[in-house]
Amino acid sequence: MNVIETAIEGVVILEPHLFEDTRGYFFESFSQRDFEEKVGRVNFVQDNESKSFYGVLRGLHYQLAPYEQAKLVRVVKGCVWDVNVDLRKDSPTFGKHVAVELSEKNKRQLFIPKGFAHGFAVLSEEVIFQYKCDNYYTPGQEGGIRFDDPELGIDWRIPQKDILCSEKDKQLKSFRESFVF
């Protein structure tokens, strides 16, 4: 796998080595050995999958300390615009975000270390999204930031009128009102 740095330290794009022929393709979607060698030691304990449709926006979500989660995310079917906001108070990129297109075509994965709010917008008709987490989901310990907070200035790459989010996500606080301050 190739590792591509992003504008925020710790958030990296992983590109698998793809083997294609007339039968289709094959790639190794995860190797603990290679991941540790190229990215770092992370013990993933939970895998999640979601199915969504065009315009669905999930996020921006995080888990409160000490339940934070590092994630390795990828798209199996379709395409998303994946956004991650740095919530690490001592980071030089605190409050900044990085966004990456993940799709079944590019087969990219994104590693997001602990200390980030994560979300994605579905750009295709349908998407199947998978992610590995290094900590278990803990009900009652989740937090979130409004996707449309003007301070963050995130371009979700879909028209505002097409955005579909949960009632819970519509009630999230702004970045300044979130726990990090």
User: Which residues are marked as active site?
Assistant: 61, 131
| DSSP designation for 156 | -
User: How many other β-carbons are positioned within 10 Å of the β-carbon of residue 159?
Assistant: 8
Which residues, in sequence order, are bridge partners of residue 62? 143
Q: In terms of C-beta density within 10 A (0-12 exposed, 13-18 middle, 19 or more buried), how is residue 142 classed?
A: middle
Radius of gyration of the chain (CA): 16
Burial of 73 (0-12, 13-18, 19+ CB in 10 A): buried
